[in-house]
A and B are shown apart, each in its own frame.
Chain A
């Protein structure tokens, strides 16, 4: 579909028609007037919101403390999930994995539940948890939409109700099933949920049109809305001499569309793949893939404050404390402490109101956690031509070995590599061997030595990791012959000054570092650089990956 706003309106309509089949919508957009317009349309059928730090109690229901204490008899309240319907998850990119998995399980278990995830992902490494991306049928990216492209929109609830009633009459033929499965496979989508969700979308669209059979436009639309963003491979476009049929133009007011007589069996697969291709403007797939990798690499980490304060913090039993102390009062623990004494205390306080809980200062319990930060070891690897390529291979091997050990100690490993004119974060902090191996395998070598650039990216990575509650350590592997300055110019003198400045910045941030001289002869510049960085320097004799890994382990005091 060419008009992106029409696509948005159709997606919302389909979700309203068959929330049980489509399970929900992954809406990627920064907050703004365009998203507000979409949200306004949603209010009609998805008025309830939940946020990523919602408590289990609010979500799943539990003891209603206030009512229980007030009346002296037990009161429970239902959770948001218990009521079913479509929920809107705000700031979905901050949804911690635990909540994501539980929502995913609820989606699997309750057919009356749907979820709209508002994903405001702004930077790499954020993103909606994979467990949810996988289950939510529809995907929309509003960031590319300008205000001028949009229009006022309200869901026609009457027509939607009629379409809902027709839903069960829509027949899904064996051909349609075969075809959607084939297209999903051709797009490199492994999950079997994807084709099922696609058929649900096609069926919802057919019901919306008032048809009882799927036609080409139902399928093409479903592929564009459900399959396109899951694609991991888009088959090449057909050669020019056989131009593909023009993509179908599903109208956004489909109730008026005359029933199409095309049978589903006549649709060439190419056409559906084209629909997927058309739904993915250049770059979007790459962006989604990057997000996918970043999310996976991030593993169990979540964004923001939770990670800072108690990411791997082991909750210790709440202990006695005063109301004025800095800690948070653990209400439940406090009540637990007080509860067994209520009968006794009541005897000594006959004036107490019925049902009143008699608290003593000694009942107060305050939460605390044992803070324990994850370590992340950031390898900063010189992949330039001056540093022998063999060394790069050794560094890769060492990283894999460190990672294999690290997963036992729950450390993270990251890799910054620099060569040519640029430095890149080649591997975001990860504990996943699978991801690391994949990223390392494709790492190239050769070119100039932008040492300062490498240090800059390393510093950024370290600060970012620290911001997420991890304790970073740098391991710089280089021969120290930097010849590219920060601005990208091939100026050896400027390159040296820039490198020293960054080394000082690293030292000032108190980031522990280790410099491994991979050169064949000792390099005085590198010695001075490590001094500026406050780093320990090791000269590395010719060694294999295992020896390097052992050296590193010893140096970091493992």
Chain B
């Protein structure tokens, strides 16, 4: 409600400013036209030698330029204000989601610690609780790492360890590693490859990409998820498609989901947790590999396919 109002104020202020400068322009033209004769008479009296046409045109043009200048400055000002407003909204959203992501594992850690401190917990239960606590600690660790790594990436402080890999072998290894990292049950992820190209890649960074995409496919899946990763060549590019049978992504969000802090707010979403940083991070890593990433989905419950395009190395393969 508060945000909608703030947005409305900006629009109203912008409209008023536009009316003001248009009014100013109209006044200026009116003033000039009504005083034109006076200019001529005064000019003739003061100095009959002055070419009366020249200064008049100059005054008129200067006035117009000044007013148009004001309009341009005003436009830039409001544009920046609007960008700033959007950023503030995104930042607020980010703070809310990060706070939530920090507080949730912290609450369960505290709960288990208090439970074990105050209650007579059996050895078996204690082991269960400790394993859940480890999961929460890992989640906190991941969140903090994500924030720090993205900050480094944006400040270009990351030194990439680029090496040449045969794409088919590299991505098979990355997918297998993701299956282990995310404890994906057997048979959920399939892999196929027809690529013979080589690419230059930072394996650690691409692992984050594949982890993020497979993890998203699982989070936004239905009861029995199936994920297919395929790698193929297309002219000078290596195409990596990661397809799932999940809930899909509505058309209007397909470009936005790579924006920083963006999260889809919909009643159809089976998962509301997250910071809105995962896909942004993924996109930035791919960009640093001089590649691109896009998503295609036929709509709700029709799955989605994330496509990564990486440049193939010349004179290889």
Do A and B bind? Answer: no
Q: Which residues of A contact B (CB under 8 A)?
A: none
Q: Which residues of B contact A (CB under 8 A)?
A: none
